[in-house]
Amino acid sequence: MITLPPLIELRNITYSCPGRTSPLLKEINFSSSKERIGLIGPNGCGKTTLFQIIMGLLTPDKGEVLLQGRIMKDEKDFRLLRRKLGFLFQNSDDQLFSPTVLEDVAFGPLNLGSSPEEAREISVRTLEGLGLKGFEERITHRLSGGEKKLVALATILSMQPDLLLLDEPSNNLDPETRERLIGILKDLDQAHIIISHDLDFLASTCSHLYTIEDQKLIRCKAKQIHSHDHIHPYGDHPHQHGT
Amino acid sequence: MIEEPFARGTTFFHRRDARVKLIPALAITLILALSSSFLVTGTGCILTGVLLTLSRPDPGLLLRRICSVNIFTLFLWFTLPLTYGGTKTLPFFFLDLSLDGIRVATLITLKTNGILFCFLALLATSTVASLGHGLEKLGMPRKLTFLLLFSYRQLFVIHQEYLRLQRAARLRGFIPANSLHTYRTYSHLFGMTLVKSWNRAERVHQAMVLRGFNGTLIPLNQPELRREDYLFLATILLISFLLAAIPFFC
Ligand SMILES: Nc1ncnc2c1ncn2[C@@H]1O[C@H](COP(=O)(O)OP(=O)(O)OP(=O)(O)O)[C@@H](O)[C@H]1O
Ligand SMILES: [Mg+2]
């Protein structure tokens, strides 16, 4: 049997922030094909940075990113990678730039070569799938925070990527929408990596959990991820129940 | 928030393709700008005024726009009659007003308002985005339309960042006064606006690149020109032609 190379692989990635002496991420090795992964960790530990490295927005000091076994060297390689990976920003304000929702969702498909009619159709379908029917002509910068998040997700799903990198997707969502998002993510065929501080959210959408500790990416032990139904009166801090 | 209030609407003017508005707008503007005849500029002003009325703008808003532009012409009215010189003068209380100065001021006022009406009726009824795409279809280089669309978009971003920071300052009890504290706060505010807008622009660019953007904007709406559009174009071009021909008949 031939084993396919993993969809995405990181080899020995080391990255330091400009102007800092100690690296933020050190010798990170990671690979994923079809898994549903959660990534949790304290503020400022480099989760968003890791996503940006994967997408080729930041260049690591050392190490390489591989797509299906091929080393991504320059911008041209990463252009290919970006067709297969969709990245949802932590701040949706940065992600939406077209005047209307429909134009924004159609932007990706148009760039990938769809005709305007196809792009329109894909976008309407994607919006519908996220329960955003009727949002087509809304003005993007006048949406609420949660609506922006869902529309931003639509702009990525409309490009039909193989892997989703979602940076805190459940932020700003009301409990009902959050449940809906969980349902959507469970139903999607795509694999995903989700950054979140909401452990319950990760428990219901992911099968593995990673964390960044001491500049390293660490896979958590299987039993640490579990779902439980109770209300956290003081927000949803990551917490552990008797390991 | 920078809005496009005149572009909201459903009149015949709003529904026309940007292209058939851009061409006559250019023609009328050129005629009005180059003409030095009262008859042409006066008639032009009236005609564009009629067009403007047909596009049914919000009256309050319209008045504000017209006033803000005419503040500049008001300056001309204060200065030109006093400084233009010439032999013929008009006594006005203890001043001698230059007749030529008054002539020029009137001419400029007519031109300004004619062009303003024309822009409000023809261009402001389209969004900047569709104007940009219209310009590209009319043969303007892609880089220039891109620059236009994105400068416009960036204006929003800067404005938004500024409002956000200003709100933050006000919510924390900042009241502008004539004090060093105020000036320092404002200088921080402006500085931060620039830095944040820059960062923001960079992230928006990243978002675009991530979604396959490679330098060309593909519009989602690629409207076909319809019969009404051609009719509209022909009518307004005819009007501008007649306007340009006035001096040859009179
Ligand atoms: N443009 C930048 N220049 C310099 N340092 C930066 C820049 N962006 C982020 N950093 C630093 O990099 C570190 C990691 O940032 P990152 O955004 O990856 O954190 P994060 O794990 O996503 O945190 P959070 O949970 O708060 O989103 C932070 O300490 C931050 O100060
Ligand atoms: Mg982050």
Flag whether residue B50 sits within 8 Å of chain A, measured between CB atoms: no
Distances (CA, A) of B246 to B31, B42, B103, B123, B249: 11, 11, 19, 25, 5
- Beta-bridged to residue A40, according to DSSP, are A211
Tokens of B24: 């006559």
Q: How far is the CA of B143 from the centre of ligand 1 (A)?
A: 34
Flag whether residue A83 sits within 8 Å of chain B, measured between CB atoms: yes
Q: How far is the CA of A94 from the centre of ligand 1 (A)?
A: 16
Of B153, B203, B218, the CB nearest to A110: B218
- Cβ A49 under 6 angstroms from ligand 1: yes
- Cβ A18 under 6 angstroms from ligand 1: yes
**φ/ψ (deg, to 5) at A72:** -85, 115
Choice from A28, A45, A214 to test ligand 1 binding pocket (greatest atom count within 8 A of CB): A45
DSSP string, chain B: ----GGG---STTTTS-HHHHHHHHHHHHHHHHH---HHHHHHHHHHHHHHHHHT---HHHHHHHHHHHHHHHHHHHHHHHHHS--S-EEEETTEEEEHHHHHHHHHHHHHHHHHHHHIIIIITTS-HHHHHHHHHHTT--HHHHHHHHHHHHHHHHHHHHHHHHHHHHHHTT----SSHHHHHHHHHHHHHHHHHHHHHHHHHHHHHHHTT--S----S--PPP-HHHHHHHHHHHHHHHHHHHHHHH-
- Cβ A22 under 6 angstroms from ligand 1: no
For the CA of A40, the nearest ligand: 1
Higher pLDDT, B221 or B207: B207
Tokens of A209: 């959990």
For the CA of A198, the nearest ligand: 1
Quote the minimal CA–CA distance from B218 to chain A in Å.
7
Q: Classify the C-alpha dihedral B117-B121-B126-B132 as positive or negative.
A: negative
By CA distance, what is A158's nearest residue in B?
B211
Q: Give the pLDDT band of residue A242 (cuts 50, 70, 90).
A: very low
Tokens of B105: 């001021």
Burial (Cβ within 10 Å: 0-12, 13-18, ≥19) of residue A35: middle
- What is the pLDDT at residue A235? 46
- What is the pLDDT at residue A224? 55
Q: How far is the CA of A22 from the centre of ligand 1 (A)?
A: 14
| Residues of chain B with C-beta less than 8 angstroms from the C-beta of A57 | 206, 209-210
Burial (Cβ within 10 Å: 0-12, 13-18, ≥19) of residue B156: middle
- Cβ A242 under 6 angstroms from ligand 1: no
Flag whether residue A141 sits within 8 Å of chain B, measured between CB atoms: yes
Quote the minimal CA–CA distance from B195 to chain A in Å.
15
User: Does residue A240 carry a pLDDT above 80?
Assistant: no
- Cβ A211 under 6 angstroms from ligand 1: no
**pLDDT tens figures, A190-214:** 899 999 999 999 999 999 999 998 8
The runs of H, that is alpha helices, within chain A are 47-54, 75-84, 101-111, 116-129, 145-157, 175-187, 199-205
* Interchain proximity B207–A102, CB inside 8 Å: no
Q: Give the pLDDT band of residue B148 (cuts 50, 70, 90).
A: confident
Long-range contacts of residues B63-71, Cβ cutoff 8 Å, at least 24 apart = B65/B116, B65/B120, B66/B113, B66/B116, B69/B112, B69/B113, B69/B116, B70/B109, B70/B112, B70/B113
Average pLDDT score over chain A: 87
User: Does residue A9 carry a pLDDT above 90?
Assistant: yes
**pLDDT tens figures, A79-122:** 999 999 999 999 988 898 887 899 999 999 999 989 999 999 99
User: Does residue B127 carry a pLDDT above 50?
Assistant: yes
* Interchain proximity B211–A82, CB inside 8 Å: yes
Whether the Cβ atoms of residue B189 and residue B162 lie closer than 8 Å to each other: yes
- What is the pLDDT at residue A21? 85
Flag whether residue A99 sits within 8 Å of chain B, measured between CB atoms: yes
Strands A36-40 and A191-195: parallel
Percent of chain B with pLDDT over 70: 99
Q: Which residues of A206-241 are buried (b: 16+ CB within 10 A; e: fewer)?
A: bebbbbbeebebeebeeeebeeeeeeeeeeeeeeee
Q: Classify the C-alpha dihedral B115-B116-B121-B125 as positive or negative.
A: positive
**pLDDT tens figures, A141-194:** 788 888 999 999 999 999 999 999 999 999 888 998 899 899 999 988 889 999
* Interchain proximity A120–B220, CB inside 8 Å: yes
- B63 Cβ partners below 8 Å, 6+ apart? none
For the CA of A49, the nearest ligand: 1
Report domain extents, chain B: 5-126+223-249, 141-210
Flag whether residue A82 sits within 8 Å of chain B, measured between CB atoms: yes
- What is the pLDDT at residue B49? 93
Count of CB contacts below 8 A, A vs B? 60
**pLDDT tens figures, B54-70:** 988 888 999 999 999 99
By CA distance, what is A78's nearest residue in B?
B210
- What is the pLDDT at residue A233? 45
Flag whether residue A120 sits within 8 Å of chain B, measured between CB atoms: yes
Q: Give the pLDDT band of residue A234 (cuts 50, 70, 90).
A: very low
Delineate the domains of chain A, giving CATH numbers in brackets.
8-221 (3.40.50.300)
Q: How far is the CA of A53 from the centre of ligand 2 (A)?
A: 13
Distances (CA, A) of B211 to A81, A156, B23: 11, 8, 34
Sheet holding A62-67, edge to edge: A25-32, A8-15, A62-67, A70-71
User: Does residue B46 carry a pLDDT above 90?
Assistant: yes
Q: How far is the CA of A107 from the centre of ligand 2 (A)?
A: 25
- Beta-bridged to residue B92, according to DSSP, are B95
**φ/ψ (deg, to 5) at A150:** -65, -40
Give, using CA atoms, the residue closest to atom 20 of ligand 1. Answer: A44
Q: How far is the CA of A195 from the centre of ligand 2 (A)?
A: 8
Residue B114's Cα: distance from chain center in Å? 12
How many C-beta atoms lie closer than 10 Å to residue A120's C-beta? 20
